[in-house]
Structures are given as structure tokens and as C-alpha cells.
Amino acid sequence: MSRNVAASQKRAWIALAAALIFHTGLISLQSHQRVDRGFVRVWILDLLAPVEKLADRSLFSVHSVWDHYISLVEEHEENVRLRHENDSLRMELMQQKEQILEAQRIRTLAGMTDSHIGKSVIARVIGRDPARNQTVTIDKGAVDGLRPDSAVITAEGIVGRVIHASNHFSIVQLIVDSQSAVGVMLETTRQRGILNGMGTRDLALDYIDDDNDLKQGDTFLTSGEDRIYPKGLLVGTITQVGPRKGLLKAVQVRPAADLSRLEEVLCLIDFSRSAEIADPAQAVPAP
């Protein structure tokens, strides 16, 4: 009986010891498992966080670049629009300025029709001989009353004469053409002479009654003796007086009208050949 009790107590102690050992092992195992899970979590965090950071930075950069790109595109389009508007305004201002200047020139030419030069018509220069630059084409012709030898002038001075007239257009020979000649007289002494074109921008004195008193700055007017230009219109001013070449001095004359910048001209259709413009300023109305 006592042996049975002792055996039972021994088995109980063994069971208790085994339970303690098992419980201790279970606690130890749970403790190790928590440490392992924490380590794995830290390792995964260290591994994935840089990737997430890189992805976030990349998405932020793409978003920022896209926003800036869209902004730049919009700014570029706005700049293009503003530049276009600015160019349009500048062109309008230039056109208005040209229209004002053209109106002033036409008003000046129209005022000349009230002087003593007779019937006339205003024409626009639409072409120029590119090879010789000694003829121009105007937009008035025979239906407007022009014919060969019709005089063409500006407010500054004479330009040339019509050498060919179609129905609606005419070709004008400028006074600087080498085949051109103009009857002139000195404004001061009224001495008669002839100026010929040189094929350049100047005229040359071909004949005069007396060249002894000629000097730089003297002005030549039309004499009316060539039956083309009315008497008393400005022709040009002496720019150089050289030594004699044969019977005459070498005299160079610059035309009063700027023949290289002709835009509008006045074409004389009919004028009184006996009329004289005593003062060339009479042909230019006051502004």
C-alpha cells in the first residue's frame, strides 16, 4: 500500500516536472518567435522603404515636371499670342503712318493743281527699270489724258517726261537718263542753258550763254523752251564747277527731286506754255 502511494507521488512529481519543462519550453518558443517576427519585419522595412521612397520621389518628380511643362507650354502659347498681337499693332501703326505720309504727299500734289501749271493728274509709281534705273512706270495712261512728252513733276522739282503711254499705264523717262535733255535757266541771272542726263544721279551742263559766273549752290529752273516743262519749275542745284572742257566748264547739277524715292508724281496733261511760275515756291502749297 505504501509502495503504491509512493509510486503515485513519484508519477505526479514527474508529471509536474514535465509540465513545467513543457511550459517553460513553450514560453521560450513564443519568446523566440516574437523576436524572429520583429527581425523579419525590420529587415523587410529596411528593404522596402528605400524602394517606396524612390517610387514616391519619382512620382513627385514626374508630377512636378508635368506641371512645369504644362505651365511652360501655356506661357509659350501666351508669349506667342502677345508677340503676334504686338507685331499686328506695329504693322497697323506703320500702315497708318504710311497712309498719313501718303495723304500729305497727295495733298501737296493736289495743291499744285491750283497753281499755274494747268490740268494735271496724280499718279503712283508702280515700277522701276531694274537694269538702268532711269525710267519708272506709273499707274496712269492715255485714258487719263497722258501722252508722249507729258511732263511729270513733284513738289520738289521736275522728274521727267512720258515716253510711252498705254491705256492705263505709262513709262516715264527720268531727267537723269543719258538720252534726256532739259531747257533751263539760272534763277539769278536768267541765263539760258541745257542740262543733259548722265546716266547717274546727276545732270551735266551741256550749254549756257555764259558760264563765267557759275558757282556751287546756283539753282536752275525750267526755261520752258523745250516745250515739255512749264517755265519756272525747279530742276536742280550746282554741286560742282570744274575746269573747262572745250568751250564750257564741267558743271555738275544734282536734281531737286529725289528720283530714287519716287512714290507719287504729278503728270501735266495740259498747261499754258506762255505761263511762267515766277517763284518756284508758288508750285508748292503751304502745308
d(CA 225, CA 246): 25
Give the CATH number of domain 119-283; options: 2.40.160.40, 3.40.50.300, 2.40.10.340, 3.40.50.1820: 2.40.10.340
- The predicted pLDDT at position 243 comes to 87
Burial of 226-258, coded b for 16+ CB within 10 Å and e otherwise, reads eebbbbbbbbbbbeebeeeeeeebebbbebbbe
- The predicted pLDDT at position 205 comes to 93
Count other C-beta atoms under 10 Å from residue 15's C-beta: 10
Question: 128 with 138: CB under 8 angstroms?
Answer: no
Give the pLDDT means over successive 10-residue stretches in the chain (287 positions). Answer: 51 55 52 50 56 59 61 70 69 61 61 65 88 87 93 92 94 94 93 93 91 91 91 93 84 94 88 47 41
- The predicted pLDDT at position 35 comes to 45
Looking at residue 140, the DSSP 8-state letter turns out to be -
Domain ranges in the chain are 1-112, 119-283
Write out the DSSP string of 216-279. Answer: TT-EEEE-STTSSSPBT-EEEEEEEEEEEETTEEEEEEEESS-GGG--EEEEEEE--TT-B-SS
